[in-house]
């Protein structure tokens, strides 16, 4: 498996599997805010991030194609992102998921995130959004 930053050739695949506009996907590719996982030269998953307050790395979305789930792809994507953020000096990571979605929450906790609160987003979704933070300040650069 290869984990790498996405490039413009990945745009068609991302458009098919993402829940974001073409403009936003293109912006994130240009800024290096995508990691993709490749198996046998096929992209099978991605991680997209941004920055809360323009500072704290924030995992907006991680998705692995159903046929490739539970085979370590998501973990490899997460570790590649975390390693890159440690390398650039980040002290914390953030992410969030909907309260009603127990599985993604369990997965975030498994990767070291702690729930820090929730906000009522009923204007756009049925249940609150729970925010997670991971302290990476003790993890040394390799």
# of chain residues touching ligand COA (CB under 6 A)? 17
With CB under 6 A as the contact rule, the residue among 29, 64, 80, 90 that binds ligand COA is 64
Kindly indicate which of the ranges 48-56, 60-68, 86-94, 118-126 contains the residues binding ligand COA, using the contact rule CB under 6 A.
60-68
Interaction between residue 16 and ligand COA (CB under 6 A): no
Sign, Cα dihedral of 43, 13, 74, 94 = positive
Interaction between residue 67 and ligand COA (CB under 6 A): no
The DSSP code for 65 is: -
Tokens of 133: 């933070």
Please answer whether residues 95 and 116 qualify as being in contact, where contact means their C-beta atoms are separated by less than 8 angstroms. no
Interaction between residue 97 and ligand COA (CB under 6 A): yes
Measured distance CA(137)–CA(92) in Å, rounded: 7
| Residues near ligand COA, by CB under 6 A | 61-64, 69-75, 97, 103-104, 106-107, 110
């Amino acid at each position: 498996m290869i984990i790498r930053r996405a490039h413009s050739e990945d745009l068609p695949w991302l458009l098919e599997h993402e829940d974001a506009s073409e403009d936003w996907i293109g912006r994130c590719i240009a800024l290096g805010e995508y990691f993709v996982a490749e198996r046998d030269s096929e992209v099978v998953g991605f991680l997209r991030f941004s920055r809360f307050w323009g500072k704290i790395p924030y995992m907006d979305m991680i998705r692995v194609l159903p046929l490739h789930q539970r085979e370590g792809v998501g973990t490899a994507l997460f570790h590649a992102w975390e390693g890159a953020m440690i390398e650039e000096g980040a002290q914390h990571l953030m992410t969030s998921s909907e309260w009603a979605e127990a599985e993604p929450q369990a997965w975030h906790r498994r990767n070291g995130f702690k729930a820090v609160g929730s906000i009522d987003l009923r204007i756009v979704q049925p249940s609150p959004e729970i925010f997670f933070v991971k302290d990476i300040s003790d993890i040394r650069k390799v």
